[in-house]
Amino acid sequence: MASNGKQVFSSADIARSIRRIAHEIVEHNQDLDSVVLVGIHTRGVPLSSRLSKALTQIANRDMPVGSLDIGMYRDDLGTRPTPELGVTSVPSGIDDKDVVLVDDVLYTGRTIRAALDALSDIGRPRTVQLAVLVDRGHRQLPIRADYVGKNLPTSDAERVTVRIEEIDGEDGVWIEVGSCTC
């Protein structure tokens, strides 16, 4: 079922963004051997796999991927229902690696803050970079993305919905006007 609201990004747009971000990652990291892609639950995980495939095509080598659940690190625990926890697993390890965090939407920055805390508990990367499919603005913390699929100016009252084939059965990004769920 498609989302309500206005579609701002198609399946082809998502594929193109991922290819472009992959090229930017190659450009930005001289030492590709140390790059690890870490997807943030939920939709960052399939996005990181796609990015890894794109990187494999461009750089002709396998890119290690991992997943990170930030539920235990949220700063709003106690103000919403207990989050269901996903799997945290980075088989390659992150010590002295260049970690590229991957998420679907960058908004307040609080998820990324939690992800940075979670990363520091599993190791000490050399650098941490951030790739997002959509940056919708409204940051509440000093955090920015290194790689952005699309900058999407929004108001706080709007809702951005990202749907990813592996989870939702279709690809696309929609904007809905609605009550703020932030």
Partner 1 sequence: MHLLTLEGMKAEEITVLLDSAQSFLEVLDRPIPKVPALRGKTVAMMFFEPSTRTRLSFDRAAKALSADTLSFSPSGSSISKGESLKDTAKTVLAMGPDLMVVRHKATGAPWRVADWTGIPVVNAGDGAHQHPTQGLLDALAIRQRFGALDGLHIGILGDIRHSRVARSDIDVFTALGAKVTLIAPRTLLPPTLDSWTVETAPDLDGLLEDLDVLYTLRIQQERGAESGFPSVAEYVKRFGVTSDRANRLKPEAVVLHPGPMNRGVEIAASVADGPRSLVTTQVRNGVAVRMAVLFSLLGGEQ
What does the alpha-carbon distance between residue 123 and residue 117 come to, in Å, rounded to a whole number?
A: 10
Tokens of 23: 């090229």
Q: How many residues bind partner 1 (CB under 8 A)?
A: 21
Q: Which is nearer to partner 1, 21 or 128 (CB)?
A: 128
Which element (helix H / strand E) includes 150? strand 147-151
User: Does residue 80 bind partner 1 (CB under 8 A)?
Assistant: yes
Q: How far is the CB of 95 from partner 1 (least distance, A)?
A: 10
How many alpha carbons lie under 13 Å from residue 160 in its C-beta half-sphere? 22
- With a CB cutoff of 8 Å and minimum separation 6, the contacts of 158 are 175, 176, 177, 178
Rg over CA atoms, the chain: 16
Exposed e or buried b for every residue in 143-153, given b needs 16+ CB within 10 A? bebbbbbbebe
Nearest approach, Cβ of residue 88 and partner 1 (Å): 5
Please tell me whether residue 86 binds partner 1 under the rule CB under 8 A. Answer: yes
Among 25, 37, 69, 147, binds partner 1 (CB under 8 A): 69
Asked if 116 interacts with partner 1 (CB under 8 A), we say no
Among 2, 12, 15, 87, binds partner 1 (CB under 8 A): 87
Which residue from 59, 116, 122, 143 is in contact with partner 1, where contact means CB under 8 A? 122
Minimum gap (Å) between residue 72 Cβ and partner 1 = 4
Residue ranges that bind partner 1, judged by CB under 8 A: 69, 71-73, 77-89, 117, 121-123
